[in-house]
Amino acid sequence: MQICVVGTGYVGLVTGTCLAEIGHHVVGVDDDRRKIDTLKAGGIPIYEPGLDELVARNRQEGRLAFTAELKEGIEAATVVFICVGTPPLEDGDADLSAVEKVARRIGELSSSYKLVVEKSTVPVHTGMWIEKTLMVYGHREQIEFDVASNPEFLREGTAVSDFLHPDRIVVGVEHPRAERLLLELYEPIVNRTFTCPVHTNCRDAGPVPFLVTDIRSAELIKHASNSFLATKISFINSVADLCELVGADVELVAAGMGLDRRIGRAFLNAGLGFGGFCFPKDLQAFVKIAEKCGHDFRLLREVDRINQARIRQMIRKLRDQLWILKDKVIGVWGLSFKPDTDDVRYSPAIALIKQLLTEGAVVRAYDPKAMEKAREALPSLVCCQNPYEVASGADALVVATEWREFESLDLMQVKGMMQRPLILDGRNLFDREKMRSMGFEYLGVGR
Exposure on the CB side of residue 140, measured as CA atoms within 13 A = 9
> pLDDT averaged over consecutive 10-residue blocks of the chain (447 residues)?
96 97 97 95 92 96 97 96 92 91 95 95 93 86 89 94 96 97 97 80 79 97 96 98 97 98 96 93 93 95 96 96 96 97 95 96 97 94 97 98 96 97 97 95 96
Shortest CA distance to 233 belongs to which of 265, 282, 272, 267?
267
Dihedral sign for Cα 426, 428, 283, 151, please.
positive
Length of the chain: 447
**What pLDDT score was predicted for residue 141?**
64
**What pLDDT score was predicted for residue 91?**
87
Residues in CB range of 382: below 8 A, 6 or more apart: 362, 363, 364, 365
Mind listing the pLDDT tens digit for each residue in 359-411? Answer: 999 999 999 999 999 999 999 999 999 999 999 999 999 999 999 999 999 99
Residue 278 known to be catalytic: yes
Shortest CA distance to 235 belongs to which of 254, 214, 213?
254
Give 285's DSSP letter: H
**What pLDDT score was predicted for residue 143?**
82
R_g (Cα) of the chain, nearest Å: 24
Structural domains in the chain?
2-213 (3.40.50.720), 247-443 (3.40.50.720)
Shortest CA distance to 130 belongs to which of 97, 99, 94, 151?
99
Exposure on the CB side of residue 159, measured as CA atoms within 13 A = 26
Which residues are registered as beta bridge partners of 28?
5, 66
How far apart CA 353 and CA 365 sit, in angstroms, is: 9
Which of 83, 278, 383, 384 is flagged as catalytic?
Answer: 278
Cβ-contact 177, 137 below 8 angstroms: no
CA distances from 277 to 43, 57, 73, 138, 382 (A): 23, 28, 27, 32, 24
**What pLDDT score was predicted for residue 140?**
59
Whole-number average pLDDT of the chain: 95
- Would you state the torsion angle of the CA atoms of residues 20, 277, 274, 432, taken in this order, to the nearest 10 degrees? 60
CA distances from 447 to 27, 40, 44, 260, 273 (A): 50, 49, 41, 22, 16
Mind listing the pLDDT tens digit for each residue in 289-340? Answer: 999 999 999 999 999 999 999 999 999 999 999 999 999 999 999 999 999 9
**What pLDDT score was predicted for residue 201?**
63
Give 338's DSSP letter: S
Burial class, 351, CB count within 10 angstroms (exposed 0-12 / middle 13-18 / buried 19+)? buried
Cβ-contact 69, 360 below 8 angstroms: no
What is the reported pTM?
A: 0.91
How far apart CA 235 and CA 371 sit, in angstroms, is: 30
One-letter amino acid at 261 equals R
